[in-house]
Chains A and B, each alone.
Chain A
């Protein structure tokens, strides 16, 4: 019975992966648009590094700057894809009107959220690799001294936290049918500002730097840059990985807990149905 139940939950979480892949196939036009936009955007930001010598009229380490910005744009893209997909789990289903059907299925909320999450990791990774391949056509990248394994480790640890944050953000559309989706974008914008995506967080005012330390993206970016630009060792990267594991360990269970509470609240007050 237990093993059976497990098989049931695993299959159910695959339901979300398969459905999202099907949706991508149907909306492939948008995928192309979105991908071209992201590639252009990543290139544009990376070219800021390439142009810095001319802009400032002084000698700068262009190769370093290009890599610095590239890491910023790619990591941010990867993390925001995870955040977007997980947080839109509910918003999309509410829009299609399928939310009541999904919440009525005999699966644990954990399975539901893990299913969406799995998909976001795969999708975010594929997307980021495609962008990287496109960027390689424009820039000569020197990765000889990079600790790529370490970079992957930091990224993976960081994904956990973003999944947790995404789940918390998914709650907003459940509670606020109209405004919820807008609110998740505000959260995302704030993370972009404080996490040092394109600059070291030290340039921010002190009060914003307090928020930087609470954002998992800060640690991911610092860790990735240390691993790729300085070839930092695993031991050194522990300084970034440990806070990420801690944040992830708190944010994922917290997300699921908050989601369950919000679901109860929505069922008590009748906020699940569109037409109510």
Chain B
């Protein structure tokens, strides 16, 4: 059906780096006598990230706040250009073959971004048309997916702002699912959801993988979720991958370092723990 350059590796990152710079002082003040060169702060959001996600995997990315998870997802979604390194989706380069990549992917971010006064159906219609679906085709898919998510007909035609946060998040996932991506990027899909909504979203993610041949990359702060849902996880800290493997393998690694029956949370804390004491990783550089 789809022409892919690589059929087995859904996502390949090789040495991907991304630095954000922020001017600290207004540039005109720099000209003022005695002020000297302005200080800019630079953040290494991604620092030589290398990883492979195999087709059909549910791959988790764990990491403390500000560790680079969303940046990684944005680079793969073609929303940020990497400064160095290479990122490929099914063999297509995210920079040079941007459009081919865009056809294969979709992304859901932590905040469900909608036209809030428009209904779920109208928002999904817009999304579907952007991906070239005809009106009839889109409508059929929209009805099916909203029904699958348990959205009642009346709610489907109300402004999205009237829906609960959990429902909005599900509609956001539905929007991504509509375009039948074979790589779906979920940035904290369950953050802020109550336990029931969270389980429903998790079940939907599994269903996407099992029944629709999708590969899923998701970020989360929920260790339990990562353990339950993900085939493999990567732990990222300050833009670097500090561990990668199945949840069991990571636990085994920490167990061998002295903790008896570690949970994934122990793994997380062991690998990123020093973060609690020196969390400031902005580097002062002279611009």
**A-side interface residues toward B, CB under 8 Å?**
7-9, 11-12, 14-15, 18-19, 22-23, 26-27, 96-98, 100-107, 264, 267-270, 272-273, 275-276
Q: Which residues of B contact A98 (CB under 8 A)?
A: 113-115
Residues in B neighbouring A11, C-beta threshold 8 A? 129, 132-134
Q: Measured between C-beta atoms, what is the minimum distance from B221 to chain A in Å?
A: 16
Q: CB distance A22 to B79 under 8 Å? A: no
B125 within 8 A of A: yes
Interface of chain B residues 107 through 136 with chain A (CB within 8 A): 107, 109, 111, 113-118, 122, 125-127, 129-134
User: CB-nearest residue of chain A relative to B121?
Assistant: A22
Using A18-B129, A23-B115 as known contacts, list a sample of 20 further A-B pairs with CB atoms less than 8 Å apart, ordered by residue number in A.
A11-B132, A11-B134, A12-B130, A12-B132, A15-B126, A19-B122, A22-B122, A96-B114, A97-B111, A98-B114, A98-B115, A100-B74, A100-B107, A104-B78, A104-B102, A104-B106, A105-B127, A107-B132, A273-B74, A275-B111
Given contacts A19-B122, A104-B77, contact A276 B20 (CB under 8 A): yes
Q: In the complex the two chains form, what is the Cα distance from A18 to B123 in whole Å?
A: 11
Contacts of A267 in B (CB 8 A): 78-81
Q: Knowing A26-B159, A101-B127, say if A19 contacts B115 (CB, 8 Å).
A: yes
B270 to chain A, nearest CB (A): 29
- Give residues in B with beta carbon < 8 Å to A: 20-21, 74, 77-81, 99, 102-103, 105-107, 109, 111, 113-118, 122, 125-127, 129-134, 159, 175
A18-B125 contact, Cβ under 8 Å, with A23-B115, A98-B115: yes
Minimum Cβ distance to chain B for residue A10 (Å): 9
- CB-CB under 8 A from B116, the residues of chain A are 96
- Alpha-carbon distance between A7 and B134 when the two chains are bound, in angstroms: 9
Could you jot down 12 A-B contacts, CB within 8 Å?
A18-B126, A19-B115, A23-B115, A26-B159, A27-B117, A97-B114, A100-B74, A100-B107, A104-B107, A107-B130, A272-B79, A276-B20
Q: Give A272's nearest chain B residue, CB to CB.
A: B79
B111 and A15 contacting across the interface, CB-CB below 8 Å: no
Are the C-beta atoms of A270 and B20 separated by less than 8 Å?
yes
Complex alpha-carbon distance, A19 and B175, angstroms: 15
CB distance from B186 to the nearest CB of A (A): 14
Residue numbers in B under 8 Å from A268 (CB-CB): 80-81
Q: Which residue of A lies closest to B132 (CB)?
A: A8
Chain B residues positioned under 8 Å from A101 (CB to CB): 107, 113, 127, 175
> CA–CA, A272 to B105, complex, Å?
18
Would you give the shortest CB distance from B162 to chain A, in whole angstroms?
Answer: 12
Q: Are B159 and A7 in contact (CB under 8 A)?
A: no
Give B287 Cβ to nearest chain A Cβ, in Å: 14
Report how far A18 CA is from B126 CA in the complex, Å: 8
Cβ contacts under 8 Å, A276 to chain B: 20
Q: How far is the CA of A106 from the CA of B111 in the complex (A)?
A: 22
Q: Are A7 and B132 in contact (CB under 8 A)?
A: yes
- Residues in B whose Cβ lies below 8 Å from that of A22: 115, 118, 122, 126
| A3 to B127 Cα, complex, angstroms | 22
Find the B residue at minimum CB distance from A268.
Answer: B81
- CB neighbours of B132 from chain A (8 A): 7-9, 11-12, 106-107
Q: Are A106 and B113 also in contact (CB < 8 A) when A267-B80, A273-B74 are?
A: no
B90 → chain A closest CB, angstroms: 14
Contact of B117 among A23, A97, A264 (CB under 8 A): A23
Contact of A102 with B130 in the complex, beta carbons under 8 Å: yes
Closest to A5 in B: B132
Q: Which residue, of B74, B77, B122, B126, has the highest number of chain A Cβ atoms within 10 A?
A: B126
Q: Report the Cα distance A264→B78, complex, angstroms.
A: 10
Chain B's closest residue to A13 (CB) is: B129
Residues of A contacting B118 in the complex (Cβ-Cβ under 8 angstroms)? 19, 22-23, 26
Contact status of A96 and B115, CB under 8 A, knowing A7-B132, A15-B126, A18-B126 = yes
Q: A7, A15, A268: which has the most chain B beta carbons within 10 Å?
A: A15
Q: Which of A23, A98, A105 has the most CB of B within 10 A?
A: A105
Q: Could you say which residues of chain B place their CB within 8 Å of the CB of A269?
A: 20-21
Residues A15 and B102 in contact, CB atoms below 8 Å apart: no
Chain A residues contacting B102 (CB-CB under 8 Å) are 104-106
CA distance A267 to B106 in the complex (A): 17
Contact B81 A15 (CB under 8 A): no
Query: Nearest chain B CB to A32's CB is how many angstroms away?
Result: 16
- B129, A14: Cβ atoms closer than 8 Å: yes
Residues of A within 8 A of B134 (CB): 11
When distances are taken between beta carbons in the complex, the residues of chain A under 8 Å from B105 are: 104
> Closest CB-CB distance, B264 to chain A, in whole Å?
27
Q: Which residues of B contact A26 (CB under 8 A)?
A: 117-118, 159
Q: How distant is B175 from chain A, measured CB to nearest CB, in Å?
A: 8
**Most B Cβ at <10 Å: residue of A9, A14, A27, A96:** A96
- Which of B102, B109, B129 gathers most chain A CB within 10 Å? B129
Cα A97 to Cα B79 in complex, Å, equals 14
Report yes or no: B131 in contact with A106, Cβ–Cβ below 8 A: yes
B252 to chain A, nearest CB (A): 36
The 10 closest A-B pairs by CB, nearest first: A15-B129, A8-B132, A97-B113, A106-B102, A105-B130, A26-B117, A19-B126, A106-B103, A267-B81, A268-B81
